[in-house]
């Protein structure tokens, strides 16, 4: 098993090391246009029609208050009455308002139980306003909730698959308010890099200037490139962006090692370099064996009694491995080969990489997830 894990990690690292040194990407995949983005919406509502799997009204006061307020708006007064229905659940409704979403456009919404409801299966979300960060209503949601899990239980057993308290309503939201953004009227626009980097920002600006034929793009910082709209594209910024986003640029990335200690996954960038360092790794194994033995007197002895005597055997074994030398300025594949020559597993490899970083012999950032 240990050999298999080591082989899998080695294969993953060698694949990463064998990737081409340069890979060009579209500007569309490297940067976003400032102002062209989604907006998050949230709302509070009620799901009705549940088959006894809703909130317990005696335990969840906000569900009871919401139900009373909703019925009063519909002309039903139940103040002071006992309500024992289990078919209602309070939920939070979330959605994303797409960029340039127009009135009447439908969007998907996600419904999540807020109280002690066991399942939202078969429920219907009542009309729920969806608010933006500014407190204004931008959409309303309503519809039948579809869940991806289920729950079944009896007197002595219970089974749950997936998450039955979270559901989704496809096209369940209706946009009621638009966000004004006059893209075609802009005289300048800014592109925000998804992975900020000085070199990448400069290369994007150079690619745009070469395409247009004049110095219209300028990198402001590692994450922003400002573009002045050329005269021939004034009033038609969409056409300019359509041409620019297809330009090929080679992004530059910093040397980084990403470690997930929970799963033992290690990913190294191609620019990782190591100074000369010697690495040794060994495991200490302590084995304790308990053996019970019976001690009893001889057959004709007049005194004595039979007893159980414990016998303990302790063994100590140290797996000493050879000292591996990693030379200065080696490539990623040479680093992987050197560490794999020690015959170590992914857990030990994580500890070795962190120790090399602590010694100042590795030129890369280590990010632990």
pLDDT in tens, the chain (369 residues): 444 444 444 444 444 444 444 578 899 999 999 888 899 999 999 999 998 889 998 889 999 999 999 998 888 888 777 888 889 999 999 999 999 999 999 999 999 999 999 999 999 999 999 999 999 999 999 999 998 877 777 766 777 777 899 999 999 999 999 988 888 888 999 999 998 999 999 999 999 999 999 999 999 999 999 999 999 898 899 999 999 999 999 998 788 888 887 777 778 777 777 777 676 666 545 555 657 676 777 766 666 677 777 666 766 555 555 555 556 666 656 666 666 666 666 777 777 777 877 877 777 888 877
The dihedral region occupied by 336, where left means phi > 0, alpha psi between -120 and 50, and beta the remainder, is alpha
Q: Are 253 and 196 in contact (CB under 8 A)?
A: no
CA distance 341 to 357: 19
CA distance 107 to 139: 9
Sign of CA dihedral 72, 76, 79, 82: negative
CA distance 121 to 47: 10
DSSP letter at 26?
Answer: E
| Burial class, 55, CB count within 10 angstroms (exposed 0-12 / middle 13-18 / buried 19+) | buried
Q: Are 339 and 1 in contact (CB under 8 A)?
A: no
What is the three-class DSSP state of 209? helix
- Residues 6 or more apart whose CB falls under 8 angstroms from that of 347 comprise 264
Q: What's phi and psi for 135, nearest 5 deg?
A: 85, 0
Sign of CA dihedral 345, 347, 352, 353: positive
Q: How many CB atoms lie within 10 A of CB 303?
A: 5
CA distance 73 to 26: 54
CA distance 42 to 129: 8
pLDDT at 95: 97
Q: Are 105 and 85 in contact (CB under 8 A)?
A: no
User: Cα dist. 92→89, 96, 126, 140, 296 in Å?
Assistant: 10, 14, 12, 13, 73
Give the pair of three-digit tokens for residue 143. Answer: 């519809």
User: Cα dist. 163→95, 124, 277 in Å?
Assistant: 19, 17, 49
Q: H or E stretch including 45?
A: strand 39-48
CA distance 90 to 67: 9
Beta bridge partners of 130: 139
Q: Are 59 and 116 in contact (CB under 8 A)?
A: yes
- Residues 6 or more apart whose CB falls under 8 angstroms from that of 183 comprise 35, 36, 100, 189, 237, 238
Which has the closest alpha carbon to 184: 236, 134, 229?
236
Alpha helices in the chain (DSSP H): 2-17, 27-30, 61-73, 198-212, 237-244, 332-340, 346-358
């Amino acid at each position: 098993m240990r050999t298999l894990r080591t082989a899998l990690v080695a294969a993953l690292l060698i694949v990463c090391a064998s990737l081409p040194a340069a890979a060009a990407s579209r500007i569309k995949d490297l940067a976003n246009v400032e102002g062209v983005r989604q907006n998050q919406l949230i709302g509070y509502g009620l799901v009705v029609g549940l088959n006894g799997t809703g909130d317990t009204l005696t335990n969840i006061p906000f569900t009871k208050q919401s139900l009373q307020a909703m019925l009063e708006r519909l002309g039903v007064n139940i103040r002071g009455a006992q309500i024992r229905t289990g078919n209602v659940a309070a939920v939070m409704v979330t959605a994303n308002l797409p960029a340039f979403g127009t009135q009447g456009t439908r969007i998907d919404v996600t419904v999540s139980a807020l109280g002690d409801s066991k399942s939202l299966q078969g429920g219907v979300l009542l009309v729920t306003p969806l608010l933006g960060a500014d407190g204004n209503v931008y959409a309303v949601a309503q519809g039948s909730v579809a869940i991806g899990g289920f729950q079944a239980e009896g007197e002595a057993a219970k089974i749950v698959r997936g998450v039955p308290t979270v559901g989704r309503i496809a096209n369940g939201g209706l946009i009621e308010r638009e966000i004004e953004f006059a893209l075609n009227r802009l005289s300048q626009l800014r592109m925000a890099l998804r992975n900020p980097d000085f070199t990448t920002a400069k290369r994007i600006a150079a690619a745009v200037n070469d395409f247009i034929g004049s110095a219209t793009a300028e990198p402001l910082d590692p994450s922003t490139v400002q573009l002045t709209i050329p005269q021939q594209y004034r009033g038609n910024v969409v056409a300019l962006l359509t041409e620019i986003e297809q330009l090929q640029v080679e992004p530059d990335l910093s040397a980084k090692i990403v470690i997930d200690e929970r799963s033992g996954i290690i990913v190294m960038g191609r620019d990782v370099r190591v100074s000369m360092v010697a690495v040794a790794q060994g495991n200490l194994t302590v084995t304790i064996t308990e053996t019970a033995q019976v001690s009893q007197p001889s057959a004709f002895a007049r005194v004595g009694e039979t007893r159980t005597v414990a016998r303990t055997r302790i063994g100590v074994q140290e797996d000493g491995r050879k000292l591996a030398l990693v030379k200065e300025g080696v490539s990623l594949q040479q680093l992987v080969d050197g560490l794999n020559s020690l015959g170590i597993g992914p857990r030990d490899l994580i500890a070795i990489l962190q120790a090399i970083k602590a010694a100042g012999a590795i030129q890369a950032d280590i990010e632990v997830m």
